[in-house]
Structure 1
Amino acid sequence: MQHGSAYFIEEVSTVEETHTLSVLVDNEPGVLARVIGLFSGRGYNIDSLTVSETSHEEHISRITIVTTATPQVIQQIRSQLGRLVPIHEVADLSIDQIAPLERELAMIKVSGTGEKRVEALRLADAFRATVIDATAEHFVFEMTGRQQKIEQFVSIMQPLGLVEVCRTGVIALRRGPEKT
């Protein structure tokens, strides 16, 4: 005979996952502060954050948040965000069966001359980065793509004279005809 609890005990995962959350909110002062306050007040980390008005007529903005946590914490974040008053919808784009469309914009400044300069240009072409500023001593490349692509390009530019990087943060939409 087995002895044990009559209550279902859910297995708790300690493996962290990265999730992209799309949050539709009223476009009004203080909303972003409330969302960020939820994260900081509970010690949740934000890997990337973008905000933009998506419907001027309806005064709606989209906040796209990339965060890394255990599945239980992600569920807590989604639930707590859903309870904030100015929020219309919280969508976890990472749980869809089809990966969402995600893009980020980055500007990457690289300084160098001679062979390093030639190599930086060759690699930029391979990564489809565009030169948006140049002098005899440096380039500024513009690049759009998935986070991993930008991170790979930045790491390759490191030994070639990487000076600085500026990134916008991830924007994302669900694939297909449904509204996010």
Structure 2
Amino acid sequence: MHRTFPLADALSVTTPKMLSHRHMDGLYELLDHMTGQDLFTHQLGAAADACKPALIEQHPFLADLQPPDNADQADLLAWLVEAERVHGEQVTVQPLTNWGRRDPIEDACDQVGAERVFLPFATDAPDKIAIQANRQAAAEKLTNLKAALARLGDAARLAARQMPKPSPANGVNLDKPEPSS
């Protein structure tokens, strides 16, 4: 299913510059759409590498549309405005057909080594007993907190029922505002 995206988002994938007006949000949204996956930050590079040729295939003009070298922020913005004038501010983007869902944990292990990927709640961790004890303690705290909140709610409802209703009989006139001092 195709979707429309700002040209600047597509250029953030097909050029070496971050041109999206929405910055990382624009990049995530485009790459998530194209891959059909909610990507993690460390997966963006591989996703962009896979999406760049598809974007150029879908919109061949992107192949030659490159910002000037050594352009400052003002020059980049001027270049982008001209590119949007010539090619339109939006492009229609189709998802990739050849992207296989990638596990973000496996990708992290592949990138930095499994020994450097910390998973605090992994079920196969060496200190599994400590993790389970921490989970149990957290569950008990959550149960106690829920009970305390329920008691607090009961006390608030009881106090509200016992409060006198505002009326002229107890000195509250609902028709006139109180004079300010």
Higher RCO structure, 1 or 2 (CA under 8 Å, sep 6+) = 1
Q: TM-score under structure 1 normalisation?
A: 0.24
The structure in which a higher percent of residues are helix is 2
* Structure ranking higher in strand proportion: 1
TM score, norm. by length of structure 2: 0.24
